[in-house]
Amino acid sequence: MSGWAWSSNIGWISFNCADQGVCGTSDYGVMVGSNGNLQGYAWSSNIGWIKFGDLSGFPSGSGTTSADANLSGGKMTGWGRALAGMDKFDGWDGWISLSGKSPNYGVA
């Protein structure tokens, strides 16, 4: 994958080191596997590394899908995880939901 995502809470998220021209010093990227699952790391200058794939212990509720992030039919479901959120004690756990039903939202 390449390009950027925007969140009003997080800011810009880069999905490939080529987006910023930093592959020589920070080689990262998110790939879509043959099964549609996302795998790898994205970067946000506001929250740090975001991991996709090989996650567990997903939150549930609000019509979310308790699984790794997946791209199917042009829509994303599942979760990514901001790694910095794993060590915070401010009530934010770092999980990023890619779709849900209450309210209805999603990445397409």
> Tens digits of per-residue pLDDT, 27-77?
999 999 999 999 999 999 988 899 999 999 898 888 898 999 999 999 999
pTM, full prediction: 0.86
Residue 18: is its pLDDT beyond 80?
yes
Nearest partner of 80 among 47, 38, 54, 52, judged by Cα: 52
> Tens digits of per-residue pLDDT, 88-104?
555 566 889 999 998 89
Query: 71: which residues sit within 8 A by CB, 6+ positions away?
Result: 32, 36, 38
pLDDT the model gives residue 90: 57
pLDDT the model gives residue 4: 93
